[in-house]
Amino acid sequence: MTGLLRKVRFLEQHELGRRYDVVIVGGGVNGLSLAYHLAEVHGVRDVAVLERSYLGSGASGRNTQVLRANYNTPETVPLYEASLRMYRTLSQELDFNILFTDQGELDLCHTPDSLRVEREKSLLNRALGVRTDILTPEEALKVCPLVDLTGGGELPVVGASYHPPGAFARHDAVVWGYAAAAQRRGVAVHEGVTVTGIDVRDGRCVGVRTDAGPVTAAILLLDGLASDQRRRYPSRHAASRSGDRLQSPRSPHMDQTTIVALIGLATVGLLATLLIMRRQRKSGEAESESRYSVSTEGEKRCPKCGMGNMWTDSTCISCGTPLRG
């Protein structure tokens, strides 16, 4: 066993510089991955990541760690498929064990409605080349023998969605891996530095104010902070656009123009919804022309419960009734 008594410093400590080409606010997975990719792929190394607490102290260090591509919109499926592919080799790329395991993801359905939703998702996933299978309760048990098909006697499992590429990665290891790899490429990673304001000159961001002094930056990137600030500035734009100090939010009261605009938007939205509902009623359940629309063509409807089954199913996924053809 080598290295047992060796003290390894995870992050090198540096003085906070007064100027960087790029300043990234927030040391979550997005901020650190951005920093790493700027340095590794684009050769931009004069980068600082400023994190107010410890790395991964936001959502990145407190999530369910699931990596999957079985999302339910045509835009997200290819995005997460590409992301999942990157995770497979991320340990080697970062030279840091992110504890990646790909045991697949099994989602249990306890109601016919949830099974229907999973079925639609499965069809969309497959249309986009991502494998998601709909399983009977018995097939789900084969995938994971620990499943209690009775749902504790209260919520019997009526089916399941199985996504074989689904995986896990240790969330804080991903954060540390990116931080260490970015730092090896010259990125300055600073914990315990809070950005308190953004300096804007002639409509351009020229730097940030921090509790450790001002830092000038040619480019400023906000990590999870963007959504954080939108929550704090409900009626206006994020401080990065207004140039305000972060700790002095504008009045939470809306001005008259905003109220009129919101009422106008709500009215347009309502009218559009009514129009769409009328059209849908007229065209019945006609299928959309979109290449992503979920087709029911080839489905076998169960004569007993009415559930739409895949044409390959020999028994109904919902009630087990034998299906013909």
Instruction: Please tell me whether residue 58 binds ligand FAD under the rule CB under 6 A.
Output: yes
Q: Are strands 300-301 and 195-201 parallel, antiparallel or unpaired?
A: unpaired
Cα separation, 315 vs 325, whole angstroms: 11
Q: Which is nearer to ligand FAD, 94 or 246 (CB)?
A: 246
Q: Which stretch binds ligand FAD (CB under 6 A): 48-56, 148-156, 282-290, 303-311?
A: 48-56
Interface residue with ligand FAD among 228, 250, 294, 310 (CB under 6 A) is: 228
Q: Which is nearer to ligand FAD, 228 or 313 (CB)?
A: 228
Q: How far is the CB of 190 from ligand FAD (least distance, A)?
A: 9
Instruction: Please tell me whether residue 225 binds ligand FAD under the rule CB under 6 A.
Output: yes
Interface residue with ligand FAD among 78, 112, 224, 320 (CB under 6 A) is: 224
- β-sheet bridge partners, residue 204: 201
Interface residue with ligand FAD among 23, 28, 77, 317 (CB under 6 A) is: 28
Instruction: Please tell me whether residue 51 binds ligand FAD under the rule CB under 6 A.
Output: yes
Read out DSSP for 68-127? ----SSTTHHHHHHHHHHHHHTHHHHHTS----B---EEEEE-SHHHHHHHHHHHHHHHH
Instruction: Please tell me whether residue 223 binds ligand FAD under the rule CB under 6 A.
Output: yes
Instruction: Please tell me whether residue 216 binds ligand FAD under the rule CB under 6 A.
Output: no
Q: How far is the CB of 184 from ligand FAD (least distance, A)?
A: 20
Please report, as a single letter, which amino acid is at residue 253.
H
Q: How far is the CB of 291 from ligand FAD (least distance, A)?
A: 27
Q: Which residues contact 82 (CB under 8 A, 6 or more apart)?
A: none
At 154 the three-state DSSP class reads coil
Q: Which of residues 170-199 bind ligand FAD (CB under 6 A)?
A: 194-195
At 51 the three-state DSSP class reads strand
Residue 318: C-alpha distances to residues 105, 159, 300, 303 (Å): 20, 7, 12, 12
Instruction: Please tell me whether residue 60 binds ligand FAD under the rule CB under 6 A.
Output: yes
Q: How far is the CB of 60 from ligand FAD (least distance, A)?
A: 3
Question: How many of the other CB atoms lie within 10 Å of CB of 274?
Answer: 10
214 φ, ψ to 5°?
-80, 150
Read out DSSP for 232-282? H-TTS--HHHH--BTTSPPPSSPPHHHHHHHHHHHHHHHHHHHHHHHHHHH
- Dihedral of CA atoms 131, 132, 136, 142 in degrees, nearest 10, equals 60
Q: Which stretch binds ligand FAD (CB under 6 A): 3-11, 24-32, 139-147, 182-190?
A: 24-32
Q: How far is the CB of 285 from ligand FAD (least distance, A)?
A: 34
Q: Which is nearer to ligand FAD, 134 or 222 (CB)?
A: 222
Q: Given the rule CB under 6 A, which residues bind ligand FAD?
A: 25-31, 50-53, 57-60, 63-66, 194-195, 223-225, 228, 246
